[in-house]
Amino acid sequence: PEPCSPPEPPKTQPGALPGPTRWGICSAGAISHDFVVALKTLPPSEHTVAAVAARDLGRAQDFARRFGIPRAYGSYEELAEDPDLDVVYVGVVNPAHLPTGLLFLRRGRAVLMEKPMGLRAHEVAQLVGMARERGVFLMEGFWTRFFPAWRRLRALVAEGALGSPLVLRGALGFALRGVPRLREPGLGGGVLLDLGCYGLQMALALLGSGAPPSLRAHGVLHETGTD
């Protein structure tokens, strides 16, 4: 196959103001840390982190100092009211995705939601419905969809270069015993929402169009009830 294509240049939206995309970061946890580290690899002329919010002001201020972010807030509501943002990255724990996402969408904020977008299909429907009602951008943060290798693989399948794929077999192995939230139902725990979604979204993208006619799952449950 041909080599992977280089990244696409950023597209300027009609009516957009000149200058970098101004990001707000919702939550000062580990996943938000990793997102900002990745964002900092891009040219500051294209992306800048303008503000961060956490439920604890001290944590937000520590996060802001670490990354040189000019504004820190002690509530998500304050971040939602910041007029100098173009998009908010939401990195809160899984059960908070719905209320936090609705908070920003209702205020007309574009949202990049860390996966999974919601715990249940009806939660995703609520978020999508609010984004459509307000006419704002909403996307689930699957970074793998933007890897050049992934784009090339999808192109090969679309061209028929691999024939007609019938089976996708994938495996992810991580030592997760030290991640307490994965064992807690109240925190949206379980490996399917955390990691299994990678395999599911690949299968949906490569094994035909539309929703599958049926889904089956089998596995082992933790004593707390999470998978």
Residues carrying an active site annotation: 115
For residue 69, give the nearest of 100, 32, 94 by alpha carbon.
32
Tokens of 48: 């800048």
Asked whether the beta carbons of 216 and 188 are under 8 A apart, the reply is no
Whether residue 95 contacts residue 117, with contact meaning beta carbons closer than 8 Å, is answered with no
Helix axes 197-206, 148-159, angle to 10 degrees: 30
The residue type found at 46 is: E
Is the CA virtual torsion 123, 128, 130, 133 positive or negative?
Answer: negative
Please tell me the distance from the alpha carbon of residue 140 to that of residue 116, in angstroms, as a whole number: 7
